[in-house]
Structure 1
Amino acid sequence: MDTVDFVIPHMGRPEMLVATVASVLAQTGVDRVASITVVTKNHSPLDIEAHEKLHVVYAPEASSISDQRNRGVALGQAPLIAFLDADIQLAVDWLQTCAEQLAQKPSRLLVSAMQKPSANAGRVEQLRTALSNVSLDETVQFLPGRNLLVKRSAHNAVGGFPGHLKTCEDYYYTEKLSRLGELYYTSRTEYIHLGEDKTLRQTFTKEIWRSEYNLRSLSGRTVPLREWPSILLPFWMLLAFIVLLTGFYSRMALAAGIFMLLTPSILYSARLYLKPSNNLPFHFLLLFYLVYFLARTAGTVMGIRLMLKRTFAE
């Protein structure tokens, strides 16, 4: 059976990192774990219990999470690599199940597990978990980087994670992998995202940050048709704001701006509300998507500003 190198980039919230490492060491197939490499941007020593398989690399100068992951990979040799975020609690059968799923087809290069809400999850966490699990037990084109079991040969073939991206690097990386083989999202095992958004305020703040590199991540990868609405929506929302501002001089413009602002949130909320798995009220879905799209708009605008600043600097 192939062994696995676990790579965990880290910055802040050490208590969640401790839980992540503990969940790796609690795996049913822990004998297959060759190493657990934590690449941290912290300057001070981490308060984490020593273990023969655990290696902590201090890299405060690391330029991005991609840089951290690539450094961690370079220190291992196992045929399989498990990429985890530093706030992930794996189910005890995660490694065994994902490895079995990975071995089912020679063309399968990567397996990721479904998300499970924490025991006392509120509405925001429940909703984010549901959105994460929209596509299960099927081949996908890209995946978030929270929990990925990937063949080292495939990782090397795509050149690792993209160093030019500070966010959206996981979508860029997994999309490149999908050109070489199959990415599979399984419901047979699971994880809890300990750092998942708990409030709408957290969603708003994090989505601004996550969206800053959305446009830069489009370069060099194939963008599927279903992804285009989320790419274009920030520009729609920006146009809605401009129309809304002209509403000071025209009631018709005010009505049009409000309509444009609310329409995407209404459509996305209705789609999720009608799913059998949904148990959240429509008004909450509408509020969530309004906050979500406004944050993505702000993040995209900031991303454009960064791109222009970099272009003029060159």
Structure 2
Amino acid sequence: QLARNAGCLTLELPNLKVGAMRNRGVALADGEIIAFVDSDHEVALDWLEKGLNALRADARIIAAGSHYLPPEEGTWVQRIWGIHRLRGRSPREVDWLGSGNLFVRRSDFLKVGGFREELTAAEDVDLCHRLRTELNGRIICDQNIRNTHHGEPKTVKDFLRKEYWRGSSGLRAWVVSGFPLRDLPSFLWPIWHLLGGICGLALLVCAMIWQTPQLFYSWFIGICLWIAPSILLSIKICWEERKLRYIPQLALLYFLYGLARAAALFKA
């Protein structure tokens, strides 16, 4: 309603997936640059200016944007996951950007066929992969293109649900993209958590049946190995970002992320 009141053309497409809805919007747009933003995002006053400047800074830049900022008064889940999302220097080249904060040339968008409409999620990952590989372009993350996502998960339960949904089309997007090796770590992480959970449960059942100390020791060591990658990754990121006191919380979210994405493998 706010968009209508401001004189904007709006579409109501309740039965389409998000990629299809965005494609319909692009089809009606006639500008040289397409700027994508979602309804639960709040952009800075200079958002358009910064986005256009970043995209036009170099002819090789094919898309520009930034990872979403957490709400200023956000919960600990939103703030801690923001450490992961906003890590690293800026501006820098990245593999992909979320379509809630993305600038791309209309001609380039159409050359690669737009968003894949069959994907429930990860349509932005797939689009960016095709922009990079088919057009040999660069995707730039510039944190000056400020965009706050008010729909970020507020609780652990919301976080699990959201990452499960986000991972629902991840495997399909990887397959249709031709199994790019640079995206392989994104799938090894949930597979590790899936196999670790299965092995841990099997060892626990065996230990309870046979009641041998060796099996209980093996189960304990297995659990430690299962959670070790989350702890080590959290230490690495928090060290780089000079936020060491958040290591436990970020490690927990990395572990839960792995569990949610592991469950999403079955949905995919």
Which category describes the TM-score, using the shorter chain as reference length?
0.7 to 0.9
Query: Corresponding residue for 1:275?
Result: 240
Which residue in 1 is equivalent to 2:64? 111
CA displacement at 1:220 relative to structure 2: 3.3
Q: Secondary structure at the match of 2:51?
A: helix
Corresponding residue number in structure 2 for 1:161: 115
Q: Is the 8 A contact 2:68 2:101 kept in 1?
A: no
2:28 corresponds to: 75
- Cα distance in 2 for partners of 1:154, 1:279 equals 41
Q: Report 1:32-181 matches (<5 A).
A: 47-48=1-2, 50-51=4-5, 53-62=7-16, 64-135=17-88, 136-179=90-133, 180=135, 181=137
Equivalent in the alignment of 1:183: 139
Kindly, what percent of the aligned residue pairs are identical? 29
Deviation at 1:261, TM superposition (A): 2.1
TM-score, normalised with respect to structure 1: 0.76
Change (3 A) 1:168 1:280: farther
1:230 is aligned, of 170, 180, 186, to 186
Pair 1:258 & 2:223 matched: yes
Rounded to whole Å, the distance in 2 between the matches of 1:123 and 1:141 is 27
Q: Which residue type is aligned with residue 291 of structure 1?
A: L
Partners of 1:102 and 1:283 in 2: how far apart?
37
Partner of 2:209: none
Distance in structure 2 (CA, Å) of the matches to 1:141 and 1:147: 15
Please point out which of 190, 201, 204 is paired with 1:245. Answer: 201
1:98–1:112: 8 Å Cα contact kept in structure 2? yes
Q: Which amino acid aligns with 1:217?
A: A
4+ residue runs of structure 1 moved beyond 4 angstroms? 222-226
Q: Is the 8 A contact 1:162 1:169 kept in 2?
A: yes
Give the structure with the higher percent helix: 2
Q: For residue 273 of structure 1, report the CA deviation from its aligned partner.
A: 2.2
Q: Does the 8 Å CA contact 1:161/1:173 hold for their aligned counterparts?
A: yes
For structure 1, which segment, 112-121 or 176-185, has the greater mean C-alpha deviation from structure 2 after superposition?
112-121
- Go from structure 1 to structure 2 and tell me whether the alpha carbon gap of 1:255 and 1:58 turns closer, same or farther (over 3 Å shift): same
Where relative contact order (Cα < 8 A, 6+ residues apart) is larger, the structure is 2
1:149 alignment partner, SS class = strand
Amino acid at match of 1:171: V
Whether contact under 8 Å (2:97, 2:128) holds in the other structure is yes
Distance (Å, rounded) in 1 between the aligned partners of 2:194 and 2:130: 30
Show CA shifts across 1:166-202 (max 9, x none). 1111000011112221211112231111111222111
Q: Distance in 2 between matches of 1:196 and 1:221?
A: 27
The number of equivalent residue pairs is 256
| TM-score normalised according to structure 2 size | 0.88
Using the alignment, how far apart are the partners of 2:245 and 2:45 within structure 1? 29
**Displacement of 1:161:** 0.2
Distance change >3 Å, CA 115–CA 95, structure 1 → 2 = same
Greater mean deviation of Cα atoms: 149-158 or 208-217: 208-217
Q: Distance in 1 between matches of 2:146 and 2:179?
A: 27
Shift of 1:218: 0.6
1:30 alignment counterpart: none
The separation in 2 between residues aligned to 1:49 and 1:163, in whole angstroms, is 24
User: Residue in 2 aligned with 1:213?
Assistant: 169
> RMSD of aligned C-alpha atoms?
2.0
Segments of 5+ residues of structure 1 without an aligned counterpart are 1-46, 304-314
Give 1:243 deviation, angstroms. 1.5
Equivalents in 2 of 1:115, 1:108: separation in Å?
A: 20
Q: Which segments of 5 or more consecutive residues in structure 2 lack a partner in the other structure?
A: 207-214
> Secondary structure of 1:67's match?
helix
Structure ranking higher in strand proportion: 1
